[in-house]
């Protein structure tokens, strides 16, 4: 065979092999191109009714995750009560009845009052922003995971939205001192219930959707929920006209976004990262939404609904501090883990709150100067 013939045969063999390889690759890749991969679906329920701004905030998280996941992951969000009651979300997630939940730790603090240290407590000088920093940078998240393990809860959780101080609440008559809380049938949740009981109140713990019916039936005489927008949307202004702002009972709180552990571990790492860091994105957007809505709706309550907007008297704050000292000591004496979490928070607050108090501008002074108005103390 001549050199020219050998070269032509070799070329034909190469082209035939290459063509076969290309055809094989096309066949192998064909199903991936023609059949879209089904997304991983997370069935998540919130603890919030359709009208609550908290439901809007939960949807902000869901949208961010769904948008970032490129169709590979989808959260299907359900309203409170769709599968379980608001206070049952953690249990449902732990058991796998739900894949995820958007709730608050105080709704399951009946399992351990330590849970409320990640929600409606503590009182140590730190605000919600600084306490959220403790959770992520001061060892709080590790203590939270330790708590879940101690309780046998099969959940992975993250925290979002450092909530502004929650008002003392709605009253038929203004509260002029801590003594006025004695015997009052009052709604709150978490460690705030322990605090108010120590002050003499008769506390009932209810989810948001049950507050107004309980007020109308006389089951409660006064209540707090969270903020001007949520309160106005469920009709607080229709059952009471005195709205007292400022309190230590829930000076901070956060959303708890949770996932069933088995479900979480089945999700690829890059999608886990979207779920985790989507919490941080939603946390910021939730706060911005809160500032806009809470401030506007407070004015609507005042101007349109003729609600009497009052600042809680300093004497009430002082009585709350005294009550907290008693509650905190009792719970620390009873539960070494409660004491461990409080110790971590106090160590954090001693330096972080000190820094903030020493460094912050006097914003109140600035406001009063610019608007030529004296705010109540």
Pairing of strands 155-160, 255-260: antiparallel
Query: Is the model more confident about 58 or about 120?
Result: 58
- 23 pLDDT more than 60: no
Average pLDDT rounded to a whole number, residues 224-230: 97
Handedness of CA 159, 160, 161, 166 (dihedral sign): negative
Give residue 120's pLDDT. 82
Give residue 36's pLDDT. 57
- 253 pLDDT more than 60: yes
Average pLDDT rounded to a whole number, residues 245-271: 97
Give residue 122's pLDDT. 87
Return the CATH number of 40-162+253-291, one of 3.40.920.10, 3.40.190.170, 3.30.930.10, 3.40.50.1360.
3.40.190.170
Contact partners, residue 271, CB within 8 Å, separation at least 6: 40, 69, 72, 73
- 17 pLDDT more than 50: no
Give residue 129's pLDDT. 96
Q: What is the pLDDT of residues 333-366, one digit of tens each?
A: 999 999 999 999 999 999 999 999 999 999 999 9
Give residue 35's pLDDT. 41
Run of H or E including 200: none
Q: Tokens for 336?
A: 């070494």
Please report which confidence band the pLDDT of residue 20 belongs to, taking 50, 70 and 90 as the band edges.
Answer: very low
Q: What is the pLDDT of residues 99-112, one digit of tens each?
A: 999 999 999 999 99
Q: List where CATH 3.40.190.10 sits in the chain.
A: 169-250+307-371
Q: List where CATH 3.40.190.170 sits in the chain.
A: 40-162+253-291
Alpha carbons 292 and 33: distance in angstroms, whole number: 46
The residue written with tokens 């001693």 in the block is 350
Spatial CA neighbour of 102 closest among 50, 29, 159: 159
Average pLDDT rounded to a whole number, residues 78-89: 97
Run of H or E including 242: strand 242-245
Q: What is the pLDDT of residues 171-198, one digit of tens each?
A: 999 999 999 999 999 999 999 999 999 9
DSSP, res 281: H
Query: Is the model more confident about 247 or about 27?
Result: 247
Contact partners, residue 61, CB within 8 Å, separation at least 6: 102, 160, 257, 278, 279, 281, 282
Q: Percentage of residues in the chain with pLDDT exceeding 70?
A: 90
Output the average pLDDT for the chain.
Answer: 91
- Cis status, amide bond into 329, omega within 30 of 0: no
Please report which confidence band the pLDDT of residue 7 belongs to, taking 50, 70 and 90 as the band edges.
Answer: very low
CATH number of 169-250+307-371: 3.40.190.10
Q: pTM for the whole thing?
A: 0.88
């Amino acid at each position: 065979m001549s050199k020219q013939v050998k070269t032509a045969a070799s070329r034909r063999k190469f082209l035939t092999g290459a063509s076969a390889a290309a055809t094989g690759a096309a066949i192998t890749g064909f199903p991936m191109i023609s059949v879209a991969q089904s997304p991983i679906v997370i069935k998540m329920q919130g603890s919030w009714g359709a009208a609550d701004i908290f439901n809007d905030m939960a949807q902000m998280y869901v949208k961010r995750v769904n948008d970032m996941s490129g169709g590979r992951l989808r959260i299907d969000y359900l309203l409170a009560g769709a599968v379980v009651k608001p206070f049952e979300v953690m249990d449902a997630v732990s058991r796998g009845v739900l894949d995820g939940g958007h709730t608050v730790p105080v709704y399951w603090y009946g399992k351990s009052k330590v849970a409320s240290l990640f929600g409606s407590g503590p009182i140590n000088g730190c605000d919600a922003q600084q306490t959220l920093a403790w959770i992520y940078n001061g060892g709080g998240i590790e203590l939270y995971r330790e708590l879940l393990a101690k309780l046998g809860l099969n959940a992975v959780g993250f925290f979002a939205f450092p909530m502004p101080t929650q008002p003392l609440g709605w009253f038929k008559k203004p509260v002029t001192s801590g003594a006025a809380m004695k015997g009052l049938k009052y709604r709150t949740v978490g460690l705030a219930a322990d605090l108010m009981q120590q002050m003499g109140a008769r506390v009932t713990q209810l989810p948001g959707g049950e507050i107004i019916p309980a007020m109308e039936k006389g089951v409660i005489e006064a209540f707090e929920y969270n903020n001007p927008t949520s309160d106005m949307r469920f009709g607080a202004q229709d059952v009471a006209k005195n709205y007292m702002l400022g309190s230590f009972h829930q000076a901070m709180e956060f959303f708890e976004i949770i996932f069933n552990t088995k479900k979480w571990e089945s999700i690829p790492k890059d999608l886990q990262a979207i779920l985790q860091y989507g919490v941080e994105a939603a946390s910021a957007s939730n706060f911005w939404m809160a500032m806009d809505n809470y401030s506007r709706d407070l004015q609507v309550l005042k101007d349109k609904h003729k609600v009497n907007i009052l600042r809680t008297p300093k004497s009430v704050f002082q009585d709350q501090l005294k009550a907290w000292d008693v509650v905190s000591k009792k719970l620390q004496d009873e539960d070494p883990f409660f004491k461990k979490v409080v110790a971590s928070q106090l160590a954090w607050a001693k330096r972080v709150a000190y820094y903030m108090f020493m460094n912050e501008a006097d914003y109140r002074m600035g406001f009063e100067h610019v608007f030529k108005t004296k705010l109540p103390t």
